[in-house]
Structure 1
Protein backbone atom coordinates (compact mmCIF):
# COMPACT_ATOMS: atom_id res chain seq x y z
CA UNK A 1 0.00 0.00 0.00
CA UNK A 2 2.84 2.34 0.76
CA UNK A 3 4.51 1.59 -2.58
CA UNK A 4 1.28 2.39 -4.44
CA UNK A 5 0.96 5.73 -2.67
CA UNK A 6 4.57 6.57 -3.41
CA UNK A 7 4.13 5.76 -7.10
CA UNK A 8 1.07 8.01 -7.21
CA UNK A 9 2.95 10.98 -5.76
CA UNK A 10 6.01 10.60 -7.98
CA UNK A 11 4.48 11.35 -11.37
CA UNK A 12 4.10 15.10 -10.65
CA UNK A 13 4.63 17.55 -7.76
CA UNK A 14 1.57 18.12 -5.51
CA UNK A 15 0.00 21.29 -6.94
CA UNK A 16 0.44 20.23 -10.56
CA UNK A 17 -0.88 16.77 -9.73
CA UNK A 18 -3.91 18.12 -7.86
CA UNK A 19 -4.71 20.70 -10.54
CA UNK A 20 -4.73 17.99 -13.19
CA UNK A 21 -6.93 15.68 -11.10
CA UNK A 22 -9.36 18.48 -10.16
CA UNK A 23 -9.71 19.63 -13.77
CA UNK A 24 -10.36 16.10 -15.00
CA UNK A 25 -12.89 15.38 -12.24
CA UNK A 26 -14.73 18.63 -12.94
CA UNK A 27 -14.77 17.82 -16.66
CA UNK A 28 -16.32 14.40 -16.00
CA UNK A 29 -18.84 15.97 -13.62
CA UNK A 30 -19.71 18.63 -16.22
CA UNK A 31 -20.41 16.01 -18.86
CA UNK A 32 -22.56 13.92 -16.52
CA UNK A 33 -24.55 16.89 -15.21
CA UNK A 34 -25.12 18.23 -18.73
CA UNK A 35 -27.01 15.02 -19.52
CA UNK A 36 -29.33 15.94 -16.66
CA UNK A 37 -29.82 19.47 -17.94
CA UNK A 38 -27.35 21.19 -15.60
CA UNK A 39 -24.71 23.24 -17.45
CA UNK A 40 -21.72 23.95 -15.21
CA UNK A 41 -20.06 25.91 -18.01
CA UNK A 42 -22.98 28.29 -18.06
CA UNK A 43 -22.86 28.73 -14.29
CA UNK A 44 -19.10 28.95 -13.78
CA UNK A 45 -17.81 30.00 -17.19
CA UNK A 46 -16.56 33.55 -17.69
CA UNK A 47 -19.29 35.81 -19.08
CA UNK A 48 -19.01 39.35 -20.39
CA UNK A 49 -18.95 41.86 -17.54
CA UNK A 50 -21.86 43.77 -19.09
CA UNK A 51 -24.12 40.70 -19.07
CA UNK A 52 -26.59 39.89 -16.30
CA UNK A 53 -25.07 36.43 -15.79
CA UNK A 54 -21.56 37.75 -15.06
CA UNK A 55 -20.13 37.25 -11.56
CA UNK A 56 -16.64 38.16 -10.33
CA UNK A 57 -15.97 34.69 -9.02
CA UNK A 58 -16.17 33.41 -12.60
CA UNK A 59 -12.61 34.74 -13.06
CA UNK A 60 -11.56 31.76 -10.90
CA UNK A 61 -14.15 29.11 -11.72
CA UNK A 62 -13.80 29.40 -15.50
CA UNK A 63 -10.20 28.18 -15.18
CA UNK A 64 -11.40 24.75 -14.00
CA UNK A 65 -14.05 24.22 -16.66
CA UNK A 66 -13.56 22.98 -20.23
CA UNK A 67 -15.59 22.46 -23.37
CA UNK A 68 -17.87 19.46 -23.04
CA UNK A 69 -18.07 19.08 -26.83
CA UNK A 70 -14.79 17.15 -26.88
CA UNK A 71 -12.28 15.79 -24.39
CA UNK A 72 -9.43 17.26 -26.48
CA UNK A 73 -9.69 20.67 -24.79
CA UNK A 74 -9.09 19.45 -21.25
CA UNK A 75 -6.53 16.80 -22.23
CA UNK A 76 -4.36 19.22 -24.21
CA UNK A 77 -4.35 21.73 -21.34
CA UNK A 78 -3.55 19.10 -18.72
CA UNK A 79 -0.78 17.61 -20.84
CA UNK A 80 0.82 21.04 -21.23
CA UNK A 81 0.41 21.70 -17.50
CA UNK A 82 2.15 18.41 -16.71
CA UNK A 83 4.95 19.00 -19.22
CA UNK A 84 5.80 22.58 -18.25
CA UNK A 85 4.28 23.09 -14.81
CA UNK A 86 6.13 20.36 -12.93
CA UNK A 87 9.60 21.86 -13.34
CA UNK A 88 8.35 25.34 -12.37
CA UNK A 89 6.72 24.01 -9.22
CA UNK A 90 9.98 22.25 -8.23
CA UNK A 91 11.88 25.48 -8.93
CA UNK A 92 9.58 27.98 -7.18
CA UNK A 93 7.87 25.84 -4.59
CA UNK A 94 4.22 24.82 -4.48
CA UNK A 95 2.75 27.94 -2.83
CA UNK A 96 4.27 30.51 -5.20
CA UNK A 97 3.58 28.27 -8.16
CA UNK A 98 -0.14 28.01 -7.28
CA UNK A 99 -0.42 31.78 -6.78
CA UNK A 100 1.25 32.32 -10.15
CA UNK A 101 -1.03 29.81 -11.89
CA UNK A 102 -4.27 31.29 -10.55
CA UNK A 103 -3.26 34.92 -11.13
CA UNK A 104 -2.26 34.14 -14.72
CA UNK A 105 -5.74 32.67 -15.17
CA UNK A 106 -7.31 35.82 -13.73
CA UNK A 107 -5.13 37.98 -15.98
CA UNK A 108 -6.22 35.93 -18.99
CA UNK A 109 -9.86 36.45 -18.02
CA UNK A 110 -9.44 40.20 -17.65
CA UNK A 111 -7.79 40.48 -21.07
CA UNK A 112 -10.63 38.43 -22.55
CA UNK A 113 -13.10 40.89 -21.02
CA UNK A 114 -11.19 43.78 -22.61
CA UNK A 115 -11.22 41.95 -25.94
CA UNK A 116 -14.98 41.51 -25.73
CA UNK A 117 -15.44 45.15 -24.76
CA UNK A 118 -13.50 46.29 -27.84
CA UNK A 119 -15.32 43.90 -30.19
CA UNK A 120 -18.78 44.82 -28.89
CA UNK A 121 -18.59 48.58 -29.42
CA UNK A 122 -20.73 48.35 -32.57
CA UNK A 123 -23.17 45.89 -31.01
CA UNK A 124 -23.84 48.17 -28.03
CA UNK A 125 -25.37 50.79 -30.33
CA UNK A 126 -28.38 48.61 -31.08
CA UNK A 127 -31.13 46.91 -29.09
CA UNK A 128 -31.10 43.78 -31.24
CA UNK A 129 -28.36 41.66 -32.84
CA UNK A 130 -28.71 39.74 -36.11
CA UNK A 131 -27.62 36.12 -35.78
CA UNK A 132 -27.88 33.34 -38.41
CA UNK A 133 -30.85 32.02 -36.42
CA UNK A 134 -32.57 35.42 -36.42
CA UNK A 135 -32.81 38.60 -34.36
CA UNK A 136 -31.94 38.43 -30.67
CA UNK A 137 -32.12 41.08 -27.99
CA UNK A 138 -28.77 42.68 -27.21
CA UNK A 139 -28.87 41.71 -23.52
CA UNK A 140 -29.64 38.10 -24.42
CA UNK A 141 -26.77 38.10 -26.91
CA UNK A 142 -24.33 39.41 -24.30
CA UNK A 143 -25.37 36.56 -22.02
CA UNK A 144 -24.30 34.04 -24.66
CA UNK A 145 -20.64 35.09 -24.50
CA UNK A 146 -18.76 32.54 -22.42
CA UNK A 147 -15.15 31.41 -22.02
CA UNK A 148 -13.92 28.31 -20.21
CA UNK A 149 -10.59 26.56 -19.87
CA UNK A 150 -7.23 26.53 -18.13
CA UNK A 151 -5.46 27.73 -21.28
CA UNK A 152 -4.76 31.24 -19.97
CA UNK A 153 -3.10 29.89 -16.82
CA UNK A 154 -1.23 27.28 -18.87
CA UNK A 155 0.10 29.99 -21.20
CA UNK A 156 1.38 31.79 -18.13
CA UNK A 157 3.17 28.57 -17.17
CA UNK A 158 4.57 28.37 -20.69
CA UNK A 159 5.89 31.94 -20.39
CA UNK A 160 7.56 31.08 -17.06
CA UNK A 161 9.24 28.07 -18.68
CA UNK A 162 10.70 30.29 -21.38
CA UNK A 163 11.98 32.76 -18.78
CA UNK A 164 13.34 30.25 -16.25
CA UNK A 165 14.65 27.62 -18.66
CA UNK A 166 15.31 29.54 -21.90
CA UNK A 167 17.89 27.14 -23.30
CA UNK A 168 16.08 23.89 -22.54
CA UNK A 169 14.56 22.15 -25.55
CA UNK A 170 11.00 21.25 -26.47
CA UNK A 171 10.18 18.83 -29.29
CA UNK A 172 7.78 20.33 -31.83
CA UNK A 173 5.56 17.54 -33.07
CA UNK A 174 7.75 15.17 -31.02
CA UNK A 175 10.40 15.53 -33.71
CA UNK A 176 11.81 19.05 -34.16
CA UNK A 177 13.88 20.36 -31.19
CA UNK A 178 13.49 24.06 -30.39
CA UNK A 179 14.78 26.12 -27.47
CA UNK A 180 12.09 27.18 -25.01
CA UNK A 181 12.75 30.91 -25.46
CA UNK A 182 12.13 30.63 -29.21
CA UNK A 183 9.17 28.30 -28.73
CA UNK A 184 7.45 30.73 -26.33
CA UNK A 185 8.15 33.73 -28.55
CA UNK A 186 6.85 31.90 -31.63
CA UNK A 187 3.73 30.74 -29.82
CA UNK A 188 3.05 34.28 -28.59
CA UNK A 189 3.35 35.69 -32.11
CA UNK A 190 1.01 33.01 -33.48
CA UNK A 191 -1.59 33.77 -30.80
CA UNK A 192 -1.36 37.51 -31.47
CA UNK A 193 -1.81 36.97 -35.21
CA UNK A 194 -4.70 34.55 -34.67
CA UNK A 195 -6.40 36.94 -32.24
CA UNK A 196 -6.14 39.94 -34.55
CA UNK A 197 -7.36 38.00 -37.58
CA UNK A 198 -9.95 35.96 -35.63
CA UNK A 199 -8.36 32.69 -36.75
CA UNK A 200 -9.46 29.25 -35.47
CA UNK A 201 -13.04 30.11 -34.60
CA UNK A 202 -14.01 30.06 -30.95
CA UNK A 203 -10.49 29.94 -29.47
CA UNK A 204 -9.87 32.81 -27.00
CA UNK A 205 -6.48 33.88 -28.35
CA UNK A 206 -6.35 37.14 -26.42
CA UNK A 207 -7.03 35.25 -23.19
CA UNK A 208 -3.96 33.13 -23.97
CA UNK A 209 -1.91 36.28 -24.44
CA UNK A 210 -3.43 37.66 -21.25
CA UNK A 211 -2.06 34.70 -19.32
CA UNK A 212 1.40 35.36 -20.72
CA UNK A 213 1.15 39.09 -19.96
CA UNK A 214 0.07 38.41 -16.39
CA UNK A 215 2.91 35.94 -15.98
CA UNK A 216 5.47 38.43 -17.30
CA UNK A 217 4.25 41.12 -14.89
CA UNK A 218 4.35 38.76 -11.91
CA UNK A 219 7.85 37.52 -12.72
CA UNK A 220 9.07 41.10 -13.12
CA UNK A 221 7.55 42.19 -9.79
CA UNK A 222 8.84 39.14 -7.91
CA UNK A 223 12.31 39.55 -9.33
CA UNK A 224 12.32 43.25 -8.47
CA UNK A 225 11.37 42.40 -4.87
CA UNK A 226 14.03 39.69 -4.78
CA UNK A 227 11.63 36.90 -3.90
CA UNK A 228 12.65 34.81 -6.94
CA UNK A 229 15.82 34.51 -8.96
Structure 2
Protein backbone atom coordinates (compact mmCIF):
# COMPACT_ATOMS: atom_id res chain seq x y z
CA UNK A 1 0.00 0.00 0.00
CA UNK A 2 1.25 3.48 -0.81
CA UNK A 3 1.13 6.70 1.19
CA UNK A 4 3.30 9.75 0.77
CA UNK A 5 5.34 8.09 -1.97
CA UNK A 6 6.39 5.07 0.11
CA UNK A 7 5.13 1.53 -0.47
CA UNK A 8 4.41 -0.45 2.71
CA UNK A 9 3.38 -4.00 3.43
CA UNK A 10 0.36 -4.14 5.69
CA UNK A 11 -0.78 -6.77 8.16
CA UNK A 12 -4.38 -7.75 8.97
CA UNK A 13 -6.18 -5.67 11.59
CA UNK A 14 -5.04 -6.64 15.10
CA UNK A 15 -6.96 -6.12 18.40
CA UNK A 16 -5.01 -3.23 19.95
CA UNK A 17 -4.61 -1.41 16.65
CA UNK A 18 -8.34 -1.79 15.96
CA UNK A 19 -9.33 -0.32 19.32
CA UNK A 20 -6.81 2.50 19.05
CA UNK A 21 -8.29 3.38 15.66
CA UNK A 22 -11.83 3.28 17.04
CA UNK A 23 -10.99 5.41 20.09
CA UNK A 24 -9.03 8.00 18.13
CA UNK A 25 -11.70 8.39 15.46
CA UNK A 26 -14.51 8.49 18.05
CA UNK A 27 -12.73 11.14 20.13
CA UNK A 28 -12.05 13.22 17.04
CA UNK A 29 -15.53 13.05 15.57
CA UNK A 30 -17.74 13.02 18.67
CA UNK A 31 -15.76 15.16 21.11
CA UNK A 32 -13.77 17.48 18.88
CA UNK A 33 -15.92 17.91 15.78
CA UNK A 34 -19.37 17.78 17.38
CA UNK A 35 -19.03 18.72 21.06
CA UNK A 36 -16.11 21.14 20.80
CA UNK A 37 -16.79 22.40 17.30
CA UNK A 38 -20.51 23.05 17.70
CA UNK A 39 -21.05 23.30 21.46
CA UNK A 40 -17.80 25.22 22.00
CA UNK A 41 -16.70 23.16 24.99
CA UNK A 42 -12.88 23.58 25.12
CA UNK A 43 -11.70 19.98 25.36
CA UNK A 44 -8.44 20.70 23.55
CA UNK A 45 -7.42 23.35 26.07
CA UNK A 46 -7.87 20.78 28.83
CA UNK A 47 -6.51 17.63 27.21
CA UNK A 48 -4.11 18.93 24.56
CA UNK A 49 -0.41 19.12 25.41
CA UNK A 50 0.50 22.59 26.68
CA UNK A 51 4.15 22.44 27.83
CA UNK A 52 3.71 25.42 30.14
CA UNK A 53 0.69 23.85 31.84
CA UNK A 54 2.50 20.52 32.23
CA UNK A 55 5.69 22.07 33.63
CA UNK A 56 4.26 24.81 35.82
CA UNK A 57 0.60 23.92 36.50
CA UNK A 58 1.27 20.16 36.75
CA UNK A 59 -1.40 19.15 34.23
CA UNK A 60 0.39 15.82 33.93
CA UNK A 61 -2.50 14.03 32.24
CA UNK A 62 -1.84 16.05 29.09
CA UNK A 63 1.28 14.02 28.24
CA UNK A 64 -1.09 11.08 27.72
CA UNK A 65 -4.37 12.55 26.51
CA UNK A 66 -2.84 14.67 23.73
CA UNK A 67 -2.28 11.47 21.71
CA UNK A 68 -6.04 11.03 21.22
CA UNK A 69 -6.72 14.54 19.91
CA UNK A 70 -6.22 15.75 16.34
CA UNK A 71 -6.75 18.94 14.39
CA UNK A 72 -9.95 19.65 12.49
CA UNK A 73 -8.19 18.80 9.23
CA UNK A 74 -9.32 15.35 8.13
CA UNK A 75 -5.91 14.64 6.62
CA UNK A 76 -4.27 14.88 10.06
CA UNK A 77 -6.19 12.05 11.68
CA UNK A 78 -6.46 10.09 8.42
CA UNK A 79 -2.70 10.03 7.88
CA UNK A 80 -1.96 9.16 11.53
CA UNK A 81 -4.50 6.34 11.60
CA UNK A 82 -3.23 4.88 8.32
CA UNK A 83 0.31 4.91 9.69
CA UNK A 84 -0.90 3.32 12.93
CA UNK A 85 -2.40 0.48 10.92
CA UNK A 86 0.47 0.12 8.44
CA UNK A 87 3.21 0.09 11.07
CA UNK A 88 1.37 -1.13 14.15
CA UNK A 89 -0.48 -4.25 13.03
CA UNK A 90 2.65 -6.17 12.06
CA UNK A 91 4.42 -5.13 15.26
CA UNK A 92 1.48 -6.28 17.38
CA UNK A 93 1.52 -9.62 15.58
CA UNK A 94 5.21 -10.00 16.35
CA UNK A 95 5.22 -8.72 19.95
CA UNK A 96 1.76 -9.53 21.18
CA UNK A 97 -0.84 -7.02 22.33
CA UNK A 98 0.61 -6.35 25.78
CA UNK A 99 4.07 -5.18 24.76
CA UNK A 100 2.73 -3.44 21.68
CA UNK A 101 0.54 -1.21 23.87
CA UNK A 102 3.39 -0.62 26.31
CA UNK A 103 5.67 0.42 23.44
CA UNK A 104 3.03 2.60 21.80
CA UNK A 105 2.29 4.59 24.95
CA UNK A 106 5.94 4.78 26.03
CA UNK A 107 6.75 6.31 22.63
CA UNK A 108 3.85 8.76 22.82
CA UNK A 109 4.31 9.81 26.44
CA UNK A 110 8.09 9.93 26.03
CA UNK A 111 7.67 12.18 22.99
CA UNK A 112 5.53 14.54 25.08
CA UNK A 113 8.02 14.65 27.95
CA UNK A 114 10.99 15.32 25.67
CA UNK A 115 8.99 17.94 23.81
CA UNK A 116 8.12 19.77 27.04
CA UNK A 117 11.72 19.69 28.22
CA UNK A 118 13.01 20.84 24.83
CA UNK A 119 10.55 23.73 24.61
CA UNK A 120 11.39 24.74 28.19
CA UNK A 121 15.10 24.73 27.38
CA UNK A 122 14.45 26.75 24.24
CA UNK A 123 12.45 29.29 26.25
CA UNK A 124 15.26 29.64 28.78
CA UNK A 125 17.87 30.06 26.04
CA UNK A 126 15.99 32.46 23.79
CA UNK A 127 13.37 34.08 26.01
CA UNK A 128 10.61 32.99 23.60
CA UNK A 129 7.52 31.72 25.43
CA UNK A 130 5.60 30.70 22.31
CA UNK A 131 6.30 27.00 22.54
CA UNK A 132 5.10 26.88 26.14
CA UNK A 133 1.61 28.13 25.32
CA UNK A 134 0.97 26.53 21.91
CA UNK A 135 -0.83 23.17 22.21
CA UNK A 136 0.42 19.95 20.63
CA UNK A 137 -2.11 17.29 19.60
CA UNK A 138 -1.95 14.07 17.62
CA UNK A 139 -0.59 10.54 17.74
CA UNK A 140 2.48 11.34 15.64
CA UNK A 141 4.98 10.88 18.48
CA UNK A 142 3.76 7.32 19.05
CA UNK A 143 3.59 6.70 15.28
CA UNK A 144 7.24 7.69 14.88
CA UNK A 145 8.05 5.21 17.64
CA UNK A 146 6.35 2.51 15.55
CA UNK A 147 8.31 3.67 12.51
CA UNK A 148 11.56 3.24 14.41
CA UNK A 149 10.60 -0.29 15.47
CA UNK A 150 9.87 -1.16 11.85
CA UNK A 151 13.32 0.06 10.87
CA UNK A 152 15.00 -1.99 13.59
CA UNK A 153 13.03 -5.22 13.24
CA UNK A 154 12.49 -5.20 9.49
CA UNK A 155 15.43 -3.09 8.44
CA UNK A 156 16.36 -5.20 5.43
CA UNK A 157 12.91 -5.00 3.90
CA UNK A 158 12.77 -2.96 0.71
CA UNK A 159 10.31 -0.08 0.38
CA UNK A 160 9.85 2.02 -2.72
CA UNK A 161 10.25 5.69 -1.95
CA UNK A 162 7.98 7.69 -4.26
CA UNK A 163 7.26 4.30 -5.90
CA UNK A 164 10.54 4.63 -7.82
CA UNK A 165 13.53 4.37 -5.53
CA UNK A 166 14.11 1.06 -3.70
CA UNK A 167 15.37 1.67 -0.19
CA UNK A 168 15.89 -0.51 2.85
CA UNK A 169 13.50 0.27 5.65
CA UNK A 170 16.31 1.15 8.04
CA UNK A 171 17.57 3.83 5.65
CA UNK A 172 14.07 5.15 5.14
CA UNK A 173 13.65 5.53 8.91
CA UNK A 174 17.02 7.28 9.18
CA UNK A 175 16.01 9.60 6.34
CA UNK A 176 12.73 10.46 8.06
CA UNK A 177 14.60 11.23 11.27
CA UNK A 178 16.96 13.54 9.43
CA UNK A 179 14.04 15.28 7.72
CA UNK A 180 12.41 15.94 11.10
CA UNK A 181 15.69 17.25 12.52
CA UNK A 182 16.33 19.52 9.53
CA UNK A 183 12.74 20.79 9.61
CA UNK A 184 13.02 21.61 13.30
CA UNK A 185 16.34 23.38 12.84
CA UNK A 186 14.97 25.53 10.02
CA UNK A 187 11.93 26.56 12.07
CA UNK A 188 12.30 26.32 15.84
CA UNK A 189 12.14 23.70 18.56
CA UNK A 190 8.36 23.96 18.66
CA UNK A 191 8.13 23.98 14.86
CA UNK A 192 5.40 25.72 12.90
CA UNK A 193 2.16 23.78 12.57
CA UNK A 194 4.10 20.54 12.99
CA UNK A 195 5.83 19.66 16.26
CA UNK A 196 9.00 18.16 14.81
CA UNK A 197 10.58 17.82 18.23
CA UNK A 198 7.71 15.55 19.30
CA UNK A 199 8.39 13.35 16.28
CA UNK A 200 12.06 13.11 17.24
CA UNK A 201 10.98 12.46 20.83
CA UNK A 202 8.94 9.49 19.63
CA UNK A 203 11.98 8.06 17.85
CA UNK A 204 14.19 8.52 20.92
CA UNK A 205 11.60 7.14 23.34
CA UNK A 206 10.96 4.13 21.14
CA UNK A 207 14.67 3.40 20.94
CA UNK A 208 15.07 3.61 24.72
CA UNK A 209 12.07 1.31 25.18
CA UNK A 210 13.44 -1.31 22.79
CA UNK A 211 16.92 -1.19 24.32
CA UNK A 212 15.40 -1.55 27.80
CA UNK A 213 13.34 -4.54 26.68
CA UNK A 214 16.40 -6.14 25.11
CA UNK A 215 18.38 -5.63 28.33
CA UNK A 216 15.57 -7.04 30.50
CA UNK A 217 15.07 -10.05 28.21
CA UNK A 218 18.80 -10.77 28.18
CA UNK A 219 19.03 -10.61 31.97
CA UNK A 220 15.97 -12.84 32.36
CA UNK A 221 17.44 -15.35 29.93
CA UNK A 222 20.75 -15.35 31.82
CA UNK A 223 18.93 -15.94 35.10
CA UNK A 224 16.94 -18.81 33.62
CA UNK A 225 20.10 -20.34 32.19
CA UNK A 226 21.91 -20.11 35.53
CA UNK A 227 18.90 -21.53 37.34
CA UNK A 228 18.76 -24.49 34.98
CA UNK A 229 22.52 -24.98 35.37
CA UNK A 230 22.21 -25.18 39.14
CA UNK A 231 19.46 -27.78 38.86
CA UNK A 232 21.19 -29.99 36.30
CA UNK A 233 22.00 -33.48 37.48
CA UNK A 234 24.39 -35.90 35.85
CA UNK A 235 23.24 -39.49 36.12
CA UNK A 236 26.13 -41.92 36.51
CA UNK A 237 25.12 -45.49 35.89
CA UNK A 238 27.92 -47.08 37.91
CA UNK A 239 25.75 -49.80 39.32
CA UNK A 240 24.85 -51.69 36.15
CA UNK A 241 25.22 -55.04 37.84
CA UNK A 242 22.93 -54.06 40.71
CA UNK A 243 19.57 -53.31 39.20
CA UNK A 244 17.98 -52.98 42.61
CA UNK A 245 20.15 -50.01 43.58
CA UNK A 246 19.13 -46.50 42.53
CA UNK A 247 21.50 -44.43 40.33
CA UNK A 248 23.82 -41.88 41.90
CA UNK A 249 23.75 -38.17 41.07
CA UNK A 250 26.23 -35.34 40.84
CA UNK A 251 24.75 -31.96 41.65
Q: Could you state the TM-score of these two structures normalised by the residue count of structure 1? A: 0.81
Q: 1:154 to 1:43 in 2, by over 3 A?
A: same
**Of the two structures, which has the highest relative contact order with CA contacts closer than 8 Å and spacing of 6 or more?**
1
Q: CA contact under 8 A between 1:47 and 1:146: conserved in structure 2?
A: yes
Task: Write the distance in 2 (CA, Å) between the matches of 1:40 and 1:53.
Answer: 17
- Residue 22 (structure 2) aligns with: 21
What stretches of structure 1 move > 4 A for 4+ residues in a row? 50-54
Q: Which stretch shows the higher mean deviation, 47-56 or 25-34?
A: 47-56
- Aligned counterpart, 2:211: 220
Residue 185 of structure 1: aligned partner: 174
* SS of 1:146 mapped into structure 2: coil
Number of residue pairs matched by the alignment: 204
Residue 39 of structure 2 aligns to a residue whose secondary structure is coil
The reply to whether residue 61 of structure 1 matches residue 68 of structure 2 is: no
> Cα distance, 1:170 vs. partner?
2.5
Q: Give deviations 1:129-178, integer Å, cap 9, x for gaps.
A: xxxxxxxxx7xx67732100000000000000000110112332344332
Q: Where does 1:103-142 land on structure 2 (aligned, <5 Å)?
A: 103-121=106-124, 122-123=126-127
Q: Deviations over 1:63-85 (max 9, x none)?
A: 110112x1111111111111111
The residue number in structure 2 matching 1:91 is: 94
Distance 1:85 1:218 in 2: 16
**Structure 2: segments with no counterpart, 5+ residues:** 1-10, 222-251
SS in 1 for 2:13: coil
Q: Is the 8 A contact 2:53 2:59 kept in 1?
A: no
Using the TM superposition, give the Cα deviation of residue 195 of structure 1 relative to its aligned residue in structure 2, in angstroms.
1.1
State the SS of the aligned residue for 1:187: helix
TM-score, normalisation: structure 2 = 0.75
The answer to whether structure 1 residue 202 and structure 2 residue 193 are counterparts is yes
Corresponding residue of 1:39: 42
Equivalent position to 2:136, from 131, 134, 147? 147
